[in-house]
Chains A and B, each alone.
Chain A
């Protein structure tokens, strides 16, 4: 036993605070866990989505590829269309670029600006990217376009979730 005697008042204070705290926690814990659930939910696995493009048809020239997939947004399911710019680079490897500008998220277009042929062009703030997706210095974007990982199955191109690359 310690020499500091606990007074009756202190004992009651501690006990009531403890019990009260326990009850409050029992009430609040389910609600807080309920609210933070989206943070703790595991991300959907990176499923590869089939496009309607045959790998054999991919050329050196970037072509716009639209692919649709079912998106489950909690209680709401819908068909969502994604877009990729797909081409074969000089080594013959397939490159699939995200069209989302790394500046402020507008949609880039290939070869759309007459003064900048063979570049990706963003009309919002005149952002430019080279064919391989690296951003042109002194234009607004600060990073290269995201890249879709891809797979080839039965000659068809499958795309995963776009990944960011190291900045240039």
Chain B
């Protein structure tokens, strides 16, 4: 049945080369944990991507209930966590995944660094990877405010004070982030929400695409 559907589509669109480009690649022996167990260090990039997928999916589902409004944000989070079936699990995935994605990304960075895999010709991919790191930190930072509880509020106040300490531009950057010169409130929450669910994910998708295309072009770095 599935084969027939596949053949039907393939006959018309010739999709075999498409998925072959994406999926059909030999794994070199030195990155295959079945050959050398120590090759598990090559998994961290893939794990980062896997957790990113979980973050995107669970985040999409969370926005079905969440509202970025100072009166309702906390109430809606409380509702989705305690009244909706599996709410605790879906929010838990997003909450723990946020930390785990940073951990995995850090391990991936360490591997690339200590293996010298960032060296020519892969310098550009290192740069893109560092940009992804910053975007991920930004996602963690903006997402932290969204539950709108005391911890979120005061953490964001501290963040804004750090931003304010930037030389010359600090005060302007702070207002740009908070939406108000003095208040951390309604406009801060909507701004952080927009950044968290639209701006940074868009940047992340672009950077990840560049990251993966470059891996395909250059191949995995050789054995040590």
B83-A34 in contact (CB<8A): no
A31 in contact with B61 given A37-B84, A75-B76, A76-B75 (CB within 8 Å) = yes
Interface status of B65 (Cβ within 8 A of chain A): yes
Instruction: Name the interface residues of B31-56: CB closer than 8 Å to any CB of A.
Output: 54
Residues in chain B near residue A16, CB distance under 8 A = none
User: Smallest CB–CB gap between B193 and chain A, Å?
Assistant: 16
Q: Which of A31, A33, A37 contacts B57 (CB 8 A)?
A: A31
With A27-B54, A74-B65 as contacts: A37 and B85 at CB distance below 8 Å: yes
With a CB–CB cut-off of 8 A, which chain B residues contact A40? 85
Are A33 and B85 in touch, CB under 8 angstroms?
yes
Question: Cβ of B87 < 8 Å from any Cβ of A?
Answer: yes
> Nearest Cβ in chain B — how far from A110, in angstroms?
38
Residue pair A31, B83 in contact (C-beta under 8 Å): no
Q: Which residues of B contact A35 (CB under 8 A)?
A: 61, 64
Residue of B nearest to A77 (CB): B75
Q: Which residue of B lies closest to A76 (CB)?
A: B72
| Complex interface bits, A14-57 against B, C-beta within 8 A gives 1, otherwise 0 | 00000000000001111101110100100000000000000000
B212 within 8 A of A: no
Question: What is the CB-to-nearest-CB distance from A103 to chain B, in angstroms, rounded to a whole number?
Answer: 32
Q: CA–CA, A75 to B75, complex, Å? A: 6
Q: How many residues of A contact B (CB 8 A)?
A: 13
Is the Cβ of B76 less than 8 Å from the Cβ of A30?
Answer: no
Minimum distance in angstroms from A9 CB to a CB of chain B: 14
Is there a chain A Cβ closer than 8 Å to B89's Cβ?
yes
Q: How far is the CA of A78 from the CA of B89 in the complex (A)?
A: 29
Q: What is the minimal beta-carbon distance from B43 to any residue of chain A, in angstroms? A: 15
Q: Which residues in A have their C-beta under 8 angstroms from that of B221? A: none
Known contacts A34-B84, A34-B90; A28/B72 CB under 8 A: no
State A27–B61 Cα separation when bound (angstroms).
Answer: 12
The B76-132 residues at the A interface (CB cut-off 8 A) are 76, 78-80, 83-87, 89-90, 93
The 8 Å CB contact of A30, one of B75, B79, B93, is: B93
Report the Cα distance A76→B83, complex, angstroms.
Answer: 13
Per the bound structure, the CA–CA distance linking A75 and B80 in Å amounts to 9
Closest partner residue, chain B, to A29 (CB atom)? B86
Tell whether, in the assembled complex, residue B61 and residue A74 are in contact, meaning their CB atoms are under 8 Å apart: no
Bound-state Cα–Cα, A133 to B85, Å = 41
Distance of A17 Cα from B98 Cα, bound (Å): 27
Minimum Cβ distance to chain B for residue A14 (Å): 13
Given A35-B61, A37-B84, A37-B87, output 4 extra A-B contacts at Cβ < 8 Å.
A31-B58, A31-B61, A37-B85, A75-B75
Sample of 20 A–B contacts (CB below 8 Å): A27-B57, A27-B93, A28-B57, A31-B57, A31-B86, A31-B93, A33-B86, A34-B61, A34-B84, A34-B87, A34-B90, A35-B61, A35-B64, A37-B84, A37-B85, A74-B83, A75-B76, A75-B78, A75-B79, A76-B72
Top 10 A-B pairs, shortest CB-CB distance: A75-B75, A30-B86, A75-B79, A30-B89, A34-B86, A31-B61, A34-B90, A37-B85, A37-B84, A33-B86
Q: Which residues of A contact B (CB under 8 A)?
A: 27-31, 33-35, 37, 40, 74-76
